[in-house]
Structure 1
Amino acid sequence: MAPSRDELVAHLIASGMAGRVATPRENNLAHYWRLAQRDPGYLFGLDIGAGWDADAIFELMIRKVGVDPRRNHRRGADTIDPECTAAALDRYAARFDKAIRERQRVLFATGHPKTLTRLYQMLAGALTAAGGTVVEAGAGAVWDDQTHYGVQRLTIEHFQGVANLMATRGAIHTHSAVPIGLALDALRQAGEPMPDLVVADHGWCGGAAQAGIDAIGFADCNDPALFVGEEIGTVAVAVPLDDGIEAEQYDLLAEYILGRE
């Protein structure tokens, strides 16, 4: 039996996915400012247009995510409202249910390989079982890019249907929209249709949405771009939660998404 909404909210709080979260306030505010400056590392591949200064982004994050509304709260803990998470997860589940019912072509990808790959693999397995198609595009594409460890040779690899960005030390965290661009280019070059849906996060999600593809994603309270993208109608759904906890904690979310009636 799928968890109830009350069980979902309780789990979000108990696990630290929502409620009082580990993502620090000072990090959140710094990222809002960087997005307001149109820093490419924080745009996630999106063109957010004019009007989004740091104050407007902060107000949006209060409303859509539930961060602490006090402007004088500059350091320490911050919050994600579990009711915001649950409401967004219902929209996410509805869109994914459509993909299952219509046996759509879906590309799964993550910039958080250690924490979110397992969740997406569960969703990909359900899609396949229902007769849908998991799109594995761009595998083996190679390029050099700047990372936290300097310039590295990067490539795209798929693990049980989920694309990760790989460096020599293994799968890495990324905000970049370059990988989804390469994956979509590979589909075009092969004469294959675009995905009906992209299930992802960070630049994988934002870049797909900017390309005109339905994209649904998870985002932490320090990742405002996807919430701005949803607000302006580019991103289909952005779900607020802490995206950096133990992978197994997200299993209940998969059960909720797949069991939604």
Structure 2
Amino acid sequence: MDMQGRRISSADLHRVEEELGVCLPNQYREFLLESNGGHPRPNEFMSRLPRGNDRMQIRYFLSALSDTDARDLVWRYRVFCEENTSDLLPIADVADGSMICIGVARHNQGAVYFHDYYAGFAKPHPAQLGEQINYRLYDSFAAFISSFVSVLESEVSPLKIALAQDDVDGLSVLLDTGQVGLEDTNVAGHSLMEQAAIRNACGIMRMLFEAGVPIGRALELALKNAEFSPKHQQAVSLVKALIKERNCHR
């Protein structure tokens, strides 16, 4: 796996553990000493989620002693614990905005989990309905790393490419040829508008709005991404404007 963050020492990790108030699993500790986060290549892993999407993408692994709060282990753990269990430590961001966590309590030490970030903001909270937002993927960090797979260019969805590049013409072709439908959703249940909001694809969002696609949870998703990436304020501003415009025409 090709990735590299800021180099740290065992003494640095000991200080991080003291700030976290947890003992880092041994395999994950070795990973931090060797790589300390960063962008993985390849970046897809076998998710084994019950909802059917067998592959997911890692945006980046968090780092110890990062200069950027949103990518720092301690900062993210403190934010995470404000609304979630303290026995899971966020260690990576998934492309859809959710997180990969590792167990740091006696009962789940070293196990790797998928945290459904957006489900945690539903009202009422999924836990109150007996629904899961944390899914155990692997029993060890080593097993998780071994699940990463290389992705052939031909396996990359044309829709994902269009969204990533905010390619309005490209999406138009997919719609005109029936490869994509305006009412389509992805494996996470996100509509095209919501996927565009997650990707900060403002041109596509405007196009979908004019085609009558509902706004759905686009504002909520854009707001959450804007917490960690200022450029996503563009999507937030656009969705607010679209909501206002739609309300004026009612």
TM-score range, shorter chain: under 0.3
TM-score normalised per structure 1: 0.26
CA radius of gyration, larger in: 2
Q: Of Structure 1 and Structure 2, which has the larger fraction of its residues in strand? A: 1
TM-score normalised per structure 2: 0.27
The answer to which structure, 1 or 2, has the higher relative contact order (CA under 8 A, 6+ apart) is 1
